[in-house]
Structure 1
């Protein structure tokens, strides 16, 4: 493996060894503290145009398998690790992480002190970074001159509707950067799913006669999306049951008058302790968020806070008082895990069944 460098826009540089693709890439660097689930994280579209640094010391030990993709084509810009494993005894393994990154033209860099990097980014917040062959003045000039797009959702969301057939309740999923884990959970409950682009109008959604609507996860800043998205949510939420996740949760909050703030530090990892307000039960969930709902701007006459992060107190769930519409900031599908929040999908199914009434 050849020497490569991870350079950051604050002028710092880390010497490491390249693996995966030899491409030079630039993106916003974020730290993920998950101990497992690197395949789900790399293929999660919330990391579009980002370089993901893992604090788990060894990454790649169970290879890549067919059951753990969160998207077909990953759009992550790079992978940073302390050590990369080249040998796996996992029976489901199809490729090594190195082989997979080569196939997808994604560069990786190992032998990086990721704990030091995590402390640096915790203090500074996310910043632009590049994986390069030479850490010279030209490389830093190129990094500084690079402008990262704010049209992440448009880059990763489906441009056309597509089905995920089932025999049960009719669910419309609005794609802002959909995780496949959401579709897997709906399939387990036999839901007949149609995925629509994020540009779908209220009329296009209601023409499908949905029993419920899901607003998916996705990348980027919610304020960068057109106003038509929040207008659509306002029109839908009082007609059919609605379940919003991740970016969808932030858009749901905005549609009901709340404001969104930038998080520092961001939440990227598993086993985040979250309190369910109504039961006072503590659950653990995977998170991947750079923004959060500003609690001071929530209209308490309209919205109820359902989940709260125990580390920093940020809102992790909301519900309308008068309609079966609710949201969570974390990943309830449990991909990569933990899985104890999957019953929120059962709650969504129950709300659709109640709204639909008996079938004669």
Structure 2
């Protein structure tokens, strides 16, 4: 296997073996502590502009199941693992990770000390890095390029290009509705794959109360994971997904019962045009629920501030405390920026959740408004399902005017 190198902007060099595409890439290097669910991680649009180091030492042992994908492709610029499993053993497996990386021309590196890399990022903070298989690289030249690299335009890159509808359905699976015209359809995707991948039956249906039946939700796609729309559709809601640059007037003209602002990649302050439209949505009387980047954009649209974290929260084991009840939930998270509550006007919003580990903000409840936003992922793919009931609370807010009704 060909030798590969991971070079950090502080001059640290890791030597390992190339996996995936044989090309060089420069990206922001981040780590994820999830022990399983790498398919969901790699297909999460929030990782656009980043290369992901998985801290769990063995990745790929169950292969890739297309039904578990959160979008129609891999979004990280590169992948970093301690060991890539040579064998994929699972009855749901459609391909190996190596095949997956090759299909989307994603470079990666294995065989490095990922624990050491994680310690460096925790101590020095997230930094840019280069994955290359060029043994004659110039360290000074690459470090210069790393220091000059910035992530930009990633929300535009990951958002859908035109609006589409995901209809609520009474035929449910544990991944949400079977039917619907979503931009990513696992069965169609499988049919397009090269090779003889056996078509598999859908997983058993779950019984779920369709408490959102008949409700219309507008979802602004800032890099939305598939399971956000599916989680609402699985509760009976009809979800219209809009591109990131859709004007507030167009969304409100459709008379939705509620609006969702999705997760997404990058620095929220890069989305100035979107922030202006979010402000207009805030000024309407339509109930709003926002996740991750959407949470940050709503805060910026209402006068609060955000800042970049030292190394962020990325994984499926982050404890968050609901301040109203004192209850602690284990959550799935993926973010490098956070709302600064020191600059939060209590007349506009008040903290609703806090991170138990470091005390950073994890959610806001807006004063006098039917608006509730969270930093973590209640759709949680991959991750714990502790906070999935927030979708039911959003439905309560649309129907009864109260998030906790």
Q: TM-score range by the shorter chain?
A: over 0.9
Contact 1:128 1:143 (8 Å CA) reproduced = no
Q: Distance in 2 between matches of 1:161 and 1:95?
A: 30
Ranges in structure 1 where 5+ consecutive residues have no aligned partner? none
Residues in 2 aligned to 1:135 and 1:116: alpha-carbon distance in whole angstroms: 22
1:24-63 alignment, distance < 5 Å: 24-63=24-63
* TM-score, reference length from structure 1: 0.95
Deviation track 1:81-103 (CA, whole Å, cap 9, x = no partner) reads: 11111213211101011111111
What displacement does 1:33 show? 0.9
If the length of structure 2 is used for normalisation, what is the TM-score? Answer: 0.85
Q: Does 1:64 align with 2:64?
A: yes
Distance 1:302 1:267 in 2: 26
Per the alignment, in what secondary structure is the counterpart of residue 6 of structure 1? strand
Match of 1:17 in 2: 17
Post-superposition shift, 1:235? Answer: 2.2
Cα drift, residue 128 of structure 1: 1.4
Distance 1:225 1:140 in 2: 33
Task: Name the structure 2 match of 1:73.
Answer: 73
Alignment of 1:139-288 (within 5 A): 140-142=140-142, 144-145=144-145, 147-166=149-168, 168-226=214-272, 228-237=273-282, 238-288=284-334
Structure 2 segments unaligned to the other structure (5+ residues) = 169-212
SS at match of 1:95: coil
Structure-2 residue corresponding to 1:322:
368
Q: Is the 8 A contact 2:30 2:311 kept in 1?
A: no
Aligned equivalent of 1:297? 343
Residue 355 (structure 1) shift: 4.5
Equivalents in 2 of 1:73, 1:34: separation in Å? 20
State the alpha-carbon separation in 2 of the partners of residues 204 and 87 from structure 1. 49
Runs of 4+ in 1 over 4 A off after TM superposition: none
Q: Give yes or no for contact 1:132–1:139 (8 Å, CA) kept in 2.
A: no
CA shift, 1:312, in A, is 0.7
Task: Give a deviation string over 1:208-250, Cα, whole Å, max 9, x none.
Answer: 1100000000000011112x42232222234210001000000
1:133-191 CA-partner distances (Å, limit 9, x unpaired): 13544365145325334111111112221211236311100011111110120121121
In the other structure, the counterpart of 1:3 is 3
The offset of 1:317, in angstroms, is 0.5
Whether contact under 8 Å (2:217, 2:238) holds in the other structure is yes
Summarize deviations over 1:283-310 as a string: whole Å, max 9, x none.
Answer: 0001111110111111112212110001
Q: Which residue is 2:180 aligned to?
A: none
Alignment partners' CA distance in 1, 2:385 and 2:394: 16
Q: Distance in 1 between matches of 2:391 and 2:304?
A: 24
